[in-house]
Amino acid sequence: MIPIGKRTLALGSAAALLAVGGAIGTAESVQAASTTPTCQAGDLYLAVGQPQGAAGSFLYPVEFTNTSTHSCALRGYPGVAVLDVGHHQIGAPAARNGVPVSTVVLGPDRTAAATIRTNDPGVVPTCRATAAYVGVIPPASTTQLLIPFHLRVCGDFEISPVQTG
């Protein structure tokens, strides 16, 4: 895993770079109480997990770990884009995959994830330049967090909503 979090570069006004996107993982609860605050970028530690191959695609989990001392909620799709070493976006951001969203409540030290899907370059030979970073805007946030990660997007580039595992 390649981590990012409270000590990682955050870029403020990222709305122009990314559409809001989603996740897949393990969490405390699927139902959030109306009093549970939304997870803020400063509450989260982000990492890209090990890829898995599936029918001509690669799946990369984007893991959201709650590093705060309180429970917080994530609902929806994170914004996800790939960036070069100069933090310039490479191509369009990830498209939402259309999976219904639910609210995920993360207790302290709990993790949920979204899944990036792209094609295997052997199946779809049209690829972007290899990224130096994956830029992620958590659901309901405007702060982009950068995860140092070399990702090559080929063909489709999709993200799932935040989900429990």
Cα distances from 120 to residues 77, 84, 86, 114, 124, in angstroms, run 23, 20, 26, 19, 6
Residue-range domains of the chain with CATH = 2-159 (2.60.40)
Q: What tokens does 163 get?
A: 């989900």
pLDDT per residue as tens, the chain (165 positions): 444 444 334 333 333 333 333 333 344 444 444 689 999 999 999 999 999 998 899 999 999 999 999 999 999 999 999 999 999 999 999 999 999 999 999 999 999 999 999 999 989 989 999 999 999 999 999 999 999 999 999 999 999 999 986
